[in-house]
Amino acid sequence: MSYSASLPIRCSRAVAIVICCLRLCLILPIATRAFAAAADADSVSRESADGYVLHQHVNDYIVTGDDGYAVRRSLDSLGPVALDGKRYDGYTRWNVHWEYATSSDASGSCMLVSSSVALDVEITLPQWQHSADVPDALQRRWSIYLDALRTHENGHVQNGEQEATAIVDLMRSIGLQSDCDLLDQKLQDLGQRILQHYKDNDIEYDQHTEHGRTQGAVFP
């Protein structure tokens, strides 16, 4: 997780452009482990009613096995490696990017004249390839598990959406400042606080759900 902001680019007519990125990369422990070569599933880009642009991409990765324990071994050996060196079943990464332009008057007072916020989300989920004679009961168990895994991942996505909304609100409410350096610093400081808040929310969410276990993300 990191926060970064470029130095303001000072342009003619006392306009500054700043590009910032609030990044939270989450390798989400879903109680057990997982990853493999991913195959694209779907992507969506849309403008949110809350004022940011969402870019979301979902990957599937292949696991195999004709009984529950064989599938679990496949998950354990092919899962994504987190920063702690462990493998997990689900992977979600979201980044909030924002940029803005400022303008100062003759007195040096500074205000935002435009801004934009984008949320990039990437989710990776397992796809089970099995033989035709796998018992129906096991297939049902997999479906329940996968639905629970999606539910857990979506909880983290919602956290990213809330952060993007908070950044939009920050841009709309920052108001006139005595100079552009102060405006830049306030936006960076407040943006960092927002990032920390939603990072803490994600940690608490995983603690509360036991990384998805209480939501049913357990297989077999």
Count H helices, E strands: the chain?
A: 3, 7
Give pLDDT tens digits for 127-179. Answer: 999 999 999 999 999 999 999 999 999 999 999 999 999 999 999 999 999 99
Is 218 within the bounds of a domain? no
Is 220 within the bounds of a domain? no
Q: Is the pLDDT of residue 39 over 90?
A: no
* The total number of structural domains that make up the chain: 1
Confidence (pLDDT) at 112: 95
Is 123 within the bounds of a domain? yes
Confidence (pLDDT) at 15: 40
Give pLDDT tens digits for 166-182. Answer: 999 999 999 999 999 99
Strands 110-129, 53-64: pairing is parallel
CB atoms within 10 A of CB 4: 10
Is 179 within the bounds of a domain? yes
Confidence (pLDDT) at 88: 80
Domain, as residue range, for 96:
2-211
Give me the amino acid identity at 71: V
* Half-sphere exposure for 4 (CA within 13 Å, toward CB): 7
Confidence (pLDDT) at 79: 79
The candidate with the shortest Cα–Cα distance to 21, out of 164, 199, 140, is: 164
Is 200 within the bounds of a domain? yes
Give pLDDT tens digits for 52-88. Answer: 999 999 999 899 999 999 999 999 998 777 766 778 8
For residue 14, give both structure tokens.
């006392």
Q: What is the mean pLDDT of residues 88-103?
A: 91
Give me the amino acid identity at 215: Q
Confidence (pLDDT) at 11: 28
Q: Is the pLDDT of residue 190 over 90?
A: yes
184 against 6, higher pLDDT: 184
pTM as predicted: 0.80
Query: How far is Cα 22 from Cα 189, in angstroms, rounded to an integer?
Result: 12
Confidence (pLDDT) at 1: 28
For residue 21, give both structure tokens.
């990125």
